[in-house]
Structure 1
Amino acid sequence: MEQSRSIMKLELNPTWIVEAAMDYGEMIIGAINWDNLNQLAHLFYESYHNTVDDEGETPAEWEQELEHLRYGKYGSVLYDLSFNLYAAEQLIGSIVCSKFKGIHLILYIVISPAYRGRSLSKVLLRETIHSAIRKQLDSLYLVVTDSNVAATRTYDAIGFKKVGTDWKEVLKKNLE
């Protein structure tokens, strides 16, 4: 069954104060790393499997999707806004952004099921937002499945606002 999705936008404010680095113990944020695409694909598979966003992809299909994403399926990957999150050298989260039809779009945010409930998606989002502000970007967009209540709450708490459900309308407004 097709899930309804909403497009959300965060207006970036260059005067936002960058919070002091939080201590997450052994956790480290680093640039997105495509060297082990298989490991990244397994993270995506595990993160989406049995959730409202699961469309039945296998790990091999996720690897293929990430390979296509890497080479421009959704526009150019924005490497300075895309990050991996590690705990004790294990990949536990990732955020991937691209320049899609003239906007800066957060394509994916994934956290390993074993690490959910610790606000780690906010850690990745904060890193992306701070990088976007340093680059003097005006806004970030993302798409959320309406029935994904936890994700919607996270995005609302950060300041994302629903701007529509139709890309043509949203992109048209963005150009005005």
Structure 2
Amino acid sequence: MFLKRTKNPLFFFYRKKKKGIWWKMMLQHIGEQIRRLRNAHDWTQEQLAQRLNVSRSKVSKWENGEVLPDLQSIIDMSDLFRVSTDFLLGKHPTDEQLLQEVRLAYGTNDMSDEQLSVIRYMNEQPRLAKRLYALQALPTHKRKRLEEIVIKMIDEMIEALK
């Protein structure tokens, strides 16, 4: 029996796996990533759909783990959210890959385990990363005061949770 042709290049890959638990877990993970990233940008499903030129119902199906986004939509989302397709699909970078990216971006080989841990954490927390990015863009005199407040709040919360 011939398989129906489709625009989705991943069609033949997932056609056979569609019924398994692995498939359902992958769909669920990708949907959660899309929802998390969309919420981090404070967008509705409709706003994301408009940016990707797809229907809102398609975005809803992706987020609910009903349908896998086509390859072009995955690429478009990775560009739109400024994350790698690997991250969107659930493949998290190894420490060595993170170090390599830092070396390329900053031209340095010096990276402590603590700094690497913070980078990894920021990759996993896009909403927090977005806020920190906005903070670092403020003028220095405003940013320094806010940094002190945030540091004090974090220290107090950590102490209270001990």
Task: Determine if the TM-score, normalized by the shorter chain, exceeds 0.5.
Answer: no
* TM-score for both structures, normalised by structure 2: 0.31
* TM-score for both structures, normalised by structure 1: 0.29
**Larger strand fraction of residues:** 1
**Larger helix fraction of residues:** 2
Larger radius of gyration: 2
